[in-house]
Amino acid sequence: MSQQNLESLDVEAIREEFPILEREFDGQQVVYLDNAATTQTPDVVVDAMSDYYRESNANVHRGIHHLSQAASIAYEEAHDRVADFIGADGRKEVIFTKNTTESENLVAYSWGLNELGPGDRVVLTEMEHHASLVTWQQVAHRAGADVEYIRVDDTGRLDMNHARELIDDDTAIVSAVHVSNTLGTVNPVTELTELAHEHDALSFIDGAQAVPNRPVDVGEIDADFYAFSGHKMAGPTGIGVLYGKQAVLEELEPYLYGGGMIRKVTFEDSTWGELPWKFEPGTPPIAEAVGLHAAVDWLEEIGMDRIEAHEQELAAYAYDRLTAEGDVEIYGPEGGPDRGGLVSFNLEGVHSHDLASIMNDHTVAVRAGDHCTQPLHDKLGVPASTRASFYVYNTREEVDKLVAALEDARTLFA
């Protein structure tokens, strides 16, 4: 994105909607670059949730009084809004969970334990988040199925020739991350889905790092399942989304049981309610759904194309600045359409945890560790990395502060 176009996105006005970005520690204003873990929440989302608690707080689908009806309408409208946002075919294809991890587990338990068996293959990628890798690994172990991993090449991209070798008629499901939370790689998820469907396999896409910062149309991707989390897209914690094709969801058995998801219960047996409620037992995240609705409205008002371009510009700028330092190793593709809005790196001679601590002395908030991708870090040959991840409220000047803090680390560990 050109600087002129970047300026058309009024970042300073956007920042005013996030009072937390004005916080100071030891006289220094916070620089928040940990957005791949959790984005900050704008006032409009906080206000929407506060208004719900002040004016409409009641349980849903269980009462005929005014407050329960208002809460039920707000909760159902949140499903409708999310469905429209991602191109789903209505609320029956949108299930609210706690987070992406629970969405992965829902499919793995409801479908995987019932359908997988010896001789079946689960195909993942080497860059999977533990939410996907560990879940499918453990369910496959229980079911006696095999797990294979699409290789990551030296550029941080998937080896699609290897993908074509692995995905065959023994494959039952392909589960892949849309955007890597460590490498920043934007994967060809539509192509992976096509490969899966060519062999009558299902496709599951982890969109936790994609939906917050780029236009996503699940109809175009054609995945059978797609998951993401509210707290990574300017929404509240405690709510995630599982999209599933209606025809596929209709065939799945729930793996959590209780009130709110049943049609009829006798002492002998139970039957399930309609979608999406059969996968949402108990009291659901009502206030969080209201907040997610507000977050989606807020994101679309800015424009997902503009958010994507802004993040790509910042990631490219950070990549170039860090590369110029000479003693910084960066992981994943160079800045551009193949990279999302994050950069993971290591400073020569400094452990990532030490570097993150020094960054914190400069009030620069980054993430250090394996980012829930231990096998990927093993492949990279490093125990951990430092990750700076950007969002719509971040600026070039904040990237400059990140780079400036490296000098302190060099001095301390010289």
Assign residue 69 the CATH number of its domain: 3.40.640.10
- Residues contacting residue 97 through CB under 8 Å, at least 6 positions apart: 103, 106, 227, 239, 240, 241, 242
Residues 267 and 346 placed together within one structural domain of the fold: no
Find, among 251, 296, 257, 287, the residue nearest to 88 by Cα.
Answer: 296
Q: Which domain holds residue 344?
A: 3-41+304-412
Residues 96 and 189 placed together within one structural domain of the fold: yes
Assign residue 312 the CATH number of its domain: 3.90.1150.10
Say whether 204 sits in a helix, a strand or coil.
Answer: strand
Q: How far apart are CA 142 and CA 354, in angstroms?
A: 39
Residues 54 and 197 placed together within one structural domain of the fold: yes
Residues 238 and 287 placed together within one structural domain of the fold: yes
Residues 179 and 323 placed together within one structural domain of the fold: no
User: In angstroms, what CA-CA distances link 93 with 47, 138, 243, 275, 407?
Assistant: 28, 26, 5, 7, 50
| Percent share of the chain, pLDDT over 90 | 95
Residues 223 and 192 placed together within one structural domain of the fold: yes
Residues 160 and 36 placed together within one structural domain of the fold: no
Residues 346 and 240 placed together within one structural domain of the fold: no
Which of 300, 335, 351 is a domain's end point?
Answer: 300
Which of 250, 283, 300 is a domain's end point?
Answer: 300
Q: List the beta strands (DSSP E) in 107-239.
A: 121-125, 146-150, 171-177, 202-206, 225-229
Give the confidence band of 62 by pLDDT, cuts at 50, 70, 90: confident
For tokens 């793996």, name the residue: 255
Which of 268, 300, 332 is a domain's end point?
Answer: 300
Residues assigned a catalytic role: 372
Residues 294 and 342 placed together within one structural domain of the fold: no
Residues 279 and 313 placed together within one structural domain of the fold: no
Number of domains composing the chain: 2
Residues 372 and 271 placed together within one structural domain of the fold: no
Q: How does pLDDT run across 123-162, given as a tens digit for each residue?
A: 999 999 999 999 999 999 999 999 999 999 999 999 999 9
Residues 89 and 220 placed together within one structural domain of the fold: yes
Q: How far apart are CA 410 and CA 398, in angstroms?
A: 20
Looking at the predicted structure, is the pLDDT value of residue 60 above 60?
yes
Q: How does pLDDT run across 348-386, given as a tens digit for each residue?
A: 999 999 999 999 999 999 999 999 999 999 999 999 999
Structure-token pair, residue 326: 């000479």
Q: What is the pLDDT of residue 336?
A: 78
